[in-house]
Amino acid sequence: MIPVGARAPDFTLPDHAGQLVSLSDFAGRRLLIAFYPLDFSPTCNDQLTSYKAISPQLDEAGVTLVGISVDSAFAHKAFRDQTGIDNALLADFEPKGAVAEAYGAYLEDWGHANRSLVLIDGEGIVEWVHASDTPVDIPPPSLILDAI
């Protein structure tokens, strides 16, 4: 995982609506990246929908949550529509997993990101990180609330 205190690697990825989103879009605001393996897996559904419950606390702390996986923007749109997730989902699709790899969250042997969380301050510096022991371990919302 990327170390705390490091400058967050820049990225530009399409979101679920096909709009390009860059790290610089969040300048002056804290960003929480939730790297996750794949859309439509039961564990991913549980992880991202559980984070919806802490949206008010994230807003109050000035934190924007985005999810990043190796799925396409089209899959992200369908995933959001099915689950009711309202945060942006970014497609680390091509080159596959490049952003996850830059943040130290890519699992080469699995072909997708680990469940990892990266909190970035408004200046683009990594404030806090968490990497799950395995892709099936969900970081609970309480972990995020403790970090912010």
**pLDDT at residue 46 in the model:** 85
Its domain, for residue 69, covers 12-147
Burial class (CB in 10 A: 0-12, 13-18, 19+), 78: middle
In a domain, 3, yes or no: no
Between CA 113 and CA 124 the distance in angstroms is 21
pLDDT digits (tens, 9 = 90+) for 67-125: 999 999 999 999 999 999 999 999 999 999 999 999 999 999 999 999 999 999 999 99
Residue 6 in domain: no
User: In this structure, is residue 2 part of a structural domain?
Assistant: no
Residue 130 lies in a domain: yes
Tell me whether residue 1 is in a domain: no
Enumerate the β-bridge partners of residue 113. 106
- In this predicted structure, the answer to whether residue 45 has a pLDDT above a threshold of 90 is no
Tell me, what's the pLDDT at 87?
A: 95
Residues 72-88: tens digit of each pLDDT = 999 999 999 999 999 99
> pLDDT band at residue 65, thresholds of 50, 70 and 90?
very high
Residues of the chain above pLDDT 90, percent: 92
Strand partners, 30: 63
State which H helix or E strand residue 147 sits in.
Answer: helix 141-147
| Distance in angstroms (rounded) separating the CA atoms of residues 30 and 7 | 13
Q: Hey, what amino acid is at 147?
A: A
Asked, for residue 89, whether it belongs to a domain, the answer is yes
Tell whether the model's pLDDT for residue 44 goes beyond 70: no
Domain count within the chain: 1
- Residue 44 maps to a domain: yes
Which residues participate in catalysis according to the annotation?
44
Mean pLDDT of the chain: 95
8-state DSSP, 87: S
Other beta carbons within 10 angstroms of residue 133's beta carbon come to 8
Residue 74 lies in a domain: yes
Q: Name the nearest CA neighbour of 36 among 103, 95, 112.
A: 112
Confidence band, pLDDT 50/70/90 cuts, at residue 16: very high
Q: What is the CATH classification number for the domain harbouring 106?
A: 3.40.30.10
pLDDT band at 135 (very low <50, low <70, confident <90, very high): confident
